[in-house]
Amino acid sequence: MSTTTTASVSTHVLDTSAGRPAAGVAVRLSVRAGADGSGGPAAWAAHGASHTDADGRCTDLPALPEGTAHARLVFETEPYFSTPQAPQTQQAEEQQDAPRARDSGAFFPEVAIVFAVTPGEHYHVPLLLNPFGYSVYRGS
């Protein structure tokens, strides 16, 4: 059992349309405590920001403060899909009649993921991303 009272967060983003890590995606981390005095959820507080590295990972997000009940990761996906990426594979280049995912922009300009926090736990939250959908899960 961990004696740490704070929790930690890491993430990575995989571009499933290209079959590779999504580098350069801006990620914002916000936190909130439990219920406020009126019984509703507390307000979100900005806590950290990063960009995915060449391997699609954010390794520098700060530990969550004590008292955090919920954390939120916001991924800025629209700039990623509107920025030219590494050259397409030969197979993709040969499919001239099919629309290219990068040319169509992003249906989801940002992806916000909110999750409950238990003190002392580590939360790895991968984002599997394509221009028209996404999936997340709690990793290890």
Average pLDDT, the chain: 85
pLDDT in tens, 80-134: 998 776 444 444 444 444 444 445 567 999 999 999 999 999 999 999 999 999 9
Region of residue 135 (phi > 0: left; psi between -120 and 50: alpha; otherwise: beta): beta
Q: 94: domain range?
A: 8-136
Report the share of the chain in percent with pLDDT over 70.
79
Domain count, the chain: 1
Question: What does the alpha-carbon distance between residue 107 and residue 53 come to, in Å, rounded to a whole number?
Answer: 23
90 contact partners, CB below 8 Å, separation of at least 6: none
29 domain-assigned: yes
Q: Mean per-residue pLDDT for 35-45?
A: 78
Question: What does the alpha-carbon distance between residue 140 and residue 10 come to, in Å, rounded to a whole number?
Answer: 10
Instruction: Report the pLDDT value the prediction gives residue 86, as an integer from 0 to 100.
Output: 45
Domain with 68 in it: what CATH number?
2.60.40.180
Q: Mean per-residue pLDDT for 26-51?
A: 88
1 domain-assigned: no
Question: What does the alpha-carbon distance between residue 64 and residue 29 come to, in Å, rounded to a whole number?
Answer: 9
3 domain-assigned: no
Q: What is the pTM of this model?
A: 0.81
- 65's tokens: 């403060």
